[in-house]
Amino acid sequence: MELIKCLIIGSGPAGFTAAIYASRANLSPVLYEGPQSGGQLITTTVVENFPGYPEGVSGYDMMEDMRAQATRFGADIRNGIITSVDFSSAPYTVTVDGSVQIQAETVIISTGASAKYLGLPDETKYAGRGVSACATCDGFFFRKKTVAVVGGGDTACEEAAYLSTLAAKVYLIVRKNYLRASDIMQKRVLENPKIEVLFGHNAEGLTGENKVQGVKLVKDLGLPTEEHYEREIDGFFLAIGHKPNSDVFKPWIDTDENGYIKTINGTPMTNIPGVFAAGDVADPTYRQAICAAASGCKAAIEAERYLNK
Ligand code: NDP
C-alpha cells in the first residue's frame, strides 16, 4: 500500500497553502482535490480582499496560481475524493473513490464547506433550471429577469446586491423580521431600488413548466396573519449558509453541533494526533480565503513538527 508522509484533502486556499508549505519542508505532500477542484473560490467572480492583489483577482485565477505554486515545489496533486478513513492507528488508512487504499503518516483535512439548501423537493426538481446556490456563477443567466434570494445574512445580501446589477428585480426572502447581515450590507440592500426585501417570509415551493417560473411564499408562518401567495420569478438562489464537508471524518474526528471540526486551542490540531484541520471545514466564524490560507500554513507546520518528533 502506498505510504504518504503528508496527505492533504481538499483544494481550496487551505489545501493549496498547506501543499506549498509541506512541499517546501520536504514532506512530499499528496493533495486530493475532491469534487470541486479549486474549492468554493472557483465560483467567485472577483476577490478584492486578499492582500497582494490591489486591483482584485478572479477566484479562478487565484486558485490556478495557488495550484501552480504548490506544483512548483513538488506537491503531487491528484483527482479523487476521499470516501472513507480509518484513524484508529497511525499510519492512517484512507480510501480514495471507494476503491484505492493508501496510508498517511499525517493528514490535513481542508475539505471546505458546501452551500445549504432548504430541503424542498422542488429544489431538486428544478436543479440547473433556475435553482442555484451561487449568484456569481449563475447570475449571468438572469439578465433583465426577476430572481429571488433566500437568506438574511451577509452572503444573501451580497448575492442580492450582485444580482441587482444584472437582473431587473430581486426579491430577498427573509424568514425573520430583520436581517442578520452586517450594517454595511444591510444598508446596501435596503437602499437598493431593485431589491424588495420580503421580511417574515418563507419559500415553500417552486412552480413552472420545465424551469422555474414562480415561487410559492408563506408570510407570517404560524401567526393569525399567515398568508400564502405566489410571485413570478425566473431564478431562485439559496444563500442560507454552508455545511462543513466533514461527514466522512465524523466517526473519528470531534465536530461541533453543526459539523465543524473542533480544533485545539487555536491550533489546527484535532483530537487525533497527526490529523489536522484547516479552512472552512473547521471555521464556523470567518470563512475567508485569507483565513483558510493561514490555517493551511499552520497545519503544514504542525504536520512537519509532528513528523519530526
Ligand atoms: P449566516 O449563517 O450568517 O446567515 C444565514 C441566513 O440564512 C440567516 O439570515 C438565516 O436566517 C437564513 N437561514 C438559514 N436557514 C434558513 C432556512 N431554512 N430558511 C430560511 N432562511 C434560513 O450565513 P452567511 O453565509 O450569510 O454568512 C456566514 C459567515 O460568513 C458570517 O459570519 C458572515 O458575516 C460571513 N460572510 C462575510 C462576508 C463578507 O465579509 N463580505 C460575505 C459573506 C459571508 P436567521 O437569521 O433567521 O437565522
Complete DSSP assignment for 35-54: SSTTGGGGG-SEE-SSTT-T
pLDDT digits (tens, 9 = 90+) for 108-147: 999 999 989 999 999 999 988 999 988 877 888 899 999 9
Kindly list the catalytic residues: 134, 137-138
Helix axes 59-72, 13-24, angle to 10 degrees: 20
Can you tell me which residue has the cell 456569481?
A: 136
- Region 117-238: CATH code: 3.50.50.60
Answer yes or no: same fold for 2-114+242-308 and 117-238.
yes
Calculate how far, in angstroms, residue 175's C-alpha sits from the geometric centre of ligand 1.
12
pTM higher than 0.95 for the full model?
Answer: no
DSSP-assigned letter for residue 284: S
Position 21: which residue type?
Y
The bridge status of strand 92-96 relative to strand 82-86 is antiparallel
Pocket test for ligand 1, best of 41, 46, 154, 280 (most atoms within 8 A of CB): 154
Task: Report the pLDDT value the prediction gives residue 230, as an integer from 0 to 100.
Answer: 98
Task: Report the pLDDT value the prediction gives residue 62, as an integer from 0 to 100.
Answer: 96
DSSP-assigned letter for residue 143: T
> Please, how many CA atoms are within 13 Å of residue 291, restricted to the half-sphere of its CB?
14
pLDDT averaged over every residue in the chain: 96
Task: Indicate the domain borders of the chain.
Answer: 2-114+242-308, 117-238
- Region 2-114+242-308: CATH code: 3.50.50.60
pLDDT digits (tens, 9 = 90+) for 11-35: 999 999 999 999 999 999 999 999 9
The bridge status of strand 76-78 relative to strand 57-58 is unpaired
Q: Alpha-carbon distance 240 to 133, whole Å?
A: 9
CB 267 within 8 A of CB 273: no
Q: Which of 36, 50, 41 minimizes the C-alpha distance to 245? A: 36
Cell of 290: 485569507
Task: Report the pLDDT value the prediction gives residue 138, as an integer from 0 to 100.
Answer: 83
Q: Which atom, in ligand 1's list, is nearest to the CA of 287?
A: 30
Q: Alpha-carbon distance 99 to 209, whole Å?
A: 41
The b-or-e profile of 169-183 (16+ CB within 10 A means b, else e) is: bbbbbbbeeebebee
Q: Alpha-carbon distance 110 to 38, whole Å?
A: 11
pLDDT above 80 for 45: no
Q: Any residues with Cβ below 6 Å from ligand 1, and which?
A: 118, 150-156, 158, 175-176, 180, 240-242, 285, 287
